[in-house]
Amino acid sequence: MKLIPTRSRAFVREALGWLSTLFIAGVLTFLVSTFLVGSNEVFSCSMQPTLVEGNRILVSHLAYTLGTPRRGEIVVFDPPVTPASPTPYVKRVIGLAGEQLDIANGKVCINGQELLEPYVKGETRAIRWVHLLIPPGTVFLMGDNRENSYDSRSFGPVPISSLQGRAVLRYWPLDSPQPF
């Protein structure tokens, strides 16, 4: 039987300690990014001027596990288009389940009241949905850049189960972080 010198045993112990630390850090990173907070890049101009191509946002994955969407929130979701896009969409919640949504004369009305939207770029035009009762379990989503956004006006209300989470912070570019 060959004995391993004390120095070699200390090295092996140290290496195993580092490997276990790296493994635990990797597992924790995976769990946090999957279930708590993730990062998404904005790939289109549909949310201008709030978000532009190349911006990066932190997304709370717990937001809709613990609560429900609220009007005005920016959400990341799986697009309900065929074929399904591998890239999640980023849009704003405009209408909630059970509400009457109307689009006319460039304005959005919810239950007969004009929705004040200081973040909107361009005129809101109805593409398909002009008068709609938003079904249970869904939300109506639109981009801030109304003249250049593929959103619920084209594909209809989105199931809440398709929402990946709520945008909580634009962190890139670093010189202009913005909480939402």
Instruction: Output the CA–CA distances (angstroms, integers) from residue 167 to 88, 89, 146, 153, in the order listed.
Output: 12, 12, 19, 21
* Preceding amide of 136 cis, omega within 30: no
- For residue 85, pLDDT over 90 is answered with no
Question: Sorting pLDDT into bands at 50, 70 and 90, what band is 61?
Answer: confident
Token pair belonging to 78: 């799986």
3-state secondary structure of 105: coil
Q: Give the strands of the sheet with 131-133, arranged side by side.
A: 113-114, 107-110, 100-104, 131-133
Provide mean pLDDT across the span 108-131. Answer: 88
Place of tokens 């532009």: 52
Please tell me the total count of domains within the chain. 1
Whether residue 131 is contained in a domain is answered as yes
Residue 3 lies in a domain: no
Asked if residue 31 has pLDDT above 60, the reply is yes
- Residue 145 CB burial class (10 angstroms; 0-12, 13-18, ≥19): buried
- pLDDT at residue 136 above 70? yes
Which residues are annotated as catalytic? 46, 91
Residue 158 falls within a domain, yes or no? yes
Specify the pLDDT at position 77: 93
| Whether residue 135 has pLDDT greater than 70 | yes
Q: How confident is residue 137, by pLDDT bands cut at 50, 70 and 90? A: very high
Residue 168 predicted with pLDDT over 80: yes
For residue 65, what are the domain limits?
38-179
CA distances from 176 to 51, 72, 105, 171 (A): 11, 21, 34, 7
CATH classification of the domain holding 63? 2.10.109.10
Question: Residue 163 domain-assigned?
Answer: yes
In the block, residue with structure tokens 């009762």: 133
